[in-house]
């Protein structure tokens, strides 16, 4: 008898992700799955985006964490449409967790749903959640070698956002090196460099979001 | 029949870790297992420590990465005693990988062996490698909430090092909050705040290393 437990788990996740995707499409909501290392600024990017766009579009958030409601409590100040998933130790979200979480969200009312994955550039890579777009959020303070160290995350993404560009002046981060390594792995991806502190680069980020939403309507 | 695959894997790792520990003790080498998020500065801390102490003690390094030899190439400039482990996707080192790696190191000649784990605050936590001490390296630019978000890493550590204190003046990092959250999880652990750039705080770090080495002789 063939032992194929892992294959089945991955197939099950794929099937569940397709069901989520169908539900998102029916409800015309754009879903973005955000992957990053701890401390890259996922929660801050979501909050700054809500501050800027919250009056023109309806944004929901699914927060993934091992434990604690630390991030969703911050986000609650900006939207009631936030659901916390505590994985209890698992290092990534999966499609079944998302299927449970969206039961608690008014999908029909939302234009955009951010899924903040567990902070980790390895485990979440293999798990489709049914999102429309996946993005990797990197940050200047992590250094310019992240594409070299965590290549799979950068290969399997639709967008790379580089946060904390306000730190460039205090750092030896080499932007050309970072960009060229990302492009080697994923020639099609766009790279948006921005700062959640100064909002430099936010214009392009907002355009990207609006074009995503337009595509889902 | 009881299905106990996971238990067996963990027991196997524990047994292998004890064999490693025995070997380290016989050879009187102090072994430090470094856990951190991507970009906290593990490689930089190792290199700065070698620059400062490399003439008085003999330091070896095991580099853990998913793929690439990016970090070990940097470290090679300071010591020939470096071994790269590429996990090929696995998000942590385990004791068997270490058992293989130390075959390539002259343990008898070493005073100190740094194991740089895969950059990730979740998966490596459950895997004893046979080390004498485990440390978590956090950094100011990741934010002060890392103990809240990744509690298990902070519970199961002998030392917390907070890197990039030179960034404190550009950041809203709350040192009291960070320290109190670490102490809530792990009252016994010491917290050493330092900067690999300015070497502020290095005196205490060097003392910690020397007392570790003294204990192993």
Q: What angle do CA A14, A20, A25 make, to 5 degrees?
A: 125
At A56 the pLDDT is 94
B79, B61 contact by CB (below 8 A): yes
At B9 the pLDDT is 78
Residues A209 and A49: their CA atoms lie apart, in Å, by 10
Q: Quick check: B54 contacting A, CB < 8 Å?
A: no
Contacts of A141 in chain B (CB under 8 A): 39, 139, 141-142, 164, 167
Q: Quick check: A123 contacting B, CB < 8 Å?
A: yes
pLDDT average, residue stretch A12-20:
96
Residues B43 and B115: their CA atoms lie apart, in Å, by 10
B20, B180 contact by CB (below 8 A): no
Q: Quick check: A147 contacting B, CB < 8 Å?
A: no
Q: Of B118, B97, B43, B63, which Cα lies nearest the Cα of A121? A: B118
Q: Smallest Cβ distance to A38: which of B37, B166, B170?
A: B37
Question: What are the CB-based long-range contacts (under 8 Å, 24+) for B6-15?
Answer: B10/B126, B12/B96, B13/B94, B13/B95, B13/B96, B13/B127, B13/B128, B14/B95, B14/B128
Taking residue A182's Cβ as centre, other Cβ atoms within 10 Å add up to 24
At B42 the pLDDT is 97
- Does residue A1 register a pLDDT over 60? no
State the burial class of residue B120 (Cβ atoms within 10 Å of its Cβ: 0-12, 13-18, 19+).
Answer: buried
At A84 the pLDDT is 96
Q: Is A19 helix (H, G, I), strand (E, B) or coil?
A: helix
A160-216 per-position pLDDT tens digit: 999 999 999 999 999 999 999 999 999 999 999 999 999 999 999 999 999 999 998
Task: Assign B8 a pLDDT band (cuts: 50, 70, 90).
Answer: confident
Task: Assign A10 a pLDDT band (cuts: 50, 70, 90).
Answer: confident
User: Any bridge partners for residue B188, and if so which?
Assistant: none
CB pairs under 8 A between A and B: 98
What would the two tokens of residue B188 be? 């016994």
Task: Assign A9 a pLDDT band (cuts: 50, 70, 90).
Answer: confident
**Which of A6-15, B35-44, B147-156 bottoms out in mean pLDDT, i.e. has the lowest?**
A6-15
DSSP B65: E
Contacts of A148 in chain B (CB under 8 A): 68, 70
pLDDT average, residue stretch B66-87:
93
A36-87 per-position pLDDT tens digit: 999 999 999 999 999 999 999 999 999 999 988 999 999 999 999 999 999 9
Partner-chain contact A164 B150, CB within 8 Å: no
pLDDT average, residue stretch B156-177:
97
Taking residue A216's Cβ as centre, other Cβ atoms within 10 Å add up to 15
- Does residue B187 register a pLDDT over 60? yes
Question: Of how many residues is chain B composed?
Answer: 217
Mean confidence (pLDDT) of chain B:
95
At B4 the pLDDT is 54
pLDDT average, residue stretch B15-26:
97
Rg (CA), chain A: 17
Taking residue B22's Cβ as centre, other Cβ atoms within 10 Å add up to 11
Partner-chain contact A151 B120, CB within 8 Å: no
B79-131 per-position pLDDT tens digit: 999 999 999 889 999 999 999 999 999 999 999 999 999 999 999 999 999 99
Q: Quick check: B201 contacting A, CB < 8 Å?
A: no
What residues contact B90, with CB distance under 8 A and at least 6 apart?
B66, B118, B123
Q: Which helix (H) or strand (E) holds A65?
A: strand A59-65
DSSP B78: T
- Does residue A6 register a pLDDT over 70? no
Q: What pTM, to 2 d.p., does this model score?
A: 0.92
Q: Of A38, A139, A172, which Cα lies nearest the Cα of B44? A: A172
- Does residue A135 register a pLDDT over 60? yes
A104-122 per-position pLDDT tens digit: 999 999 999 999 999 999 9
Distances (CA, A) of B109 to B30, B54, B72, B112: 12, 13, 20, 9
Residue indicated by tokens 């030392």: B159
Cα of A109 to nearest chain B Cα, Å: 30
Cα of A28 to nearest chain B Cα, Å: 32
């Amino acid at each position: 008898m063939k032992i194929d437990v892992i294959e089945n788990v991955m197939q099950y996740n794929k099937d569940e992700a397709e069901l989520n995707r169908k539900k998102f499409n029916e409800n015309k909501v754009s879903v973005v799955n955000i992957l990053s290392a701890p401390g890259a600024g996922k929660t801050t990017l979501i909050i700054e985006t809500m501050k800027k766009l919250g009056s023109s579009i309806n944004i929901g958030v699914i927060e993934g964490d091992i434990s604690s409601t630390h991030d969703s409590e911050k986000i609650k100040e900006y939207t009631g449409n936030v659901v916390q998933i505590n994985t209890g130790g698992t290092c990534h979200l999966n499609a079944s967790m998302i299927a449970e979480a969206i039961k608690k969200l008014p999908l029909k009312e939302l234009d955009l749903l951010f899924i903040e994955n567990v902070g980790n550039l390895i485990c979440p890579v293999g798990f489709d959640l049914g999102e429309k777009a996946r993005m990797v959020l990197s940050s200047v303070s992590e250094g310019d070698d992240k594409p070299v160290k965590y290549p799979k995350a950068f290969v399997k993404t639709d967008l790379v956002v580089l946060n904390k560009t306000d730190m460039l002046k205090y750092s030896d981060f080499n932007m050309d090196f970072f960009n060229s390594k990302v492009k080697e792995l994923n020639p099609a991806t766009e790279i948006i460099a921005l700062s959640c502190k100064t909002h430099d680069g936010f214009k392009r980020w907002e355009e990207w979001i609006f074009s995503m939403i337009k595509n889902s309507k």
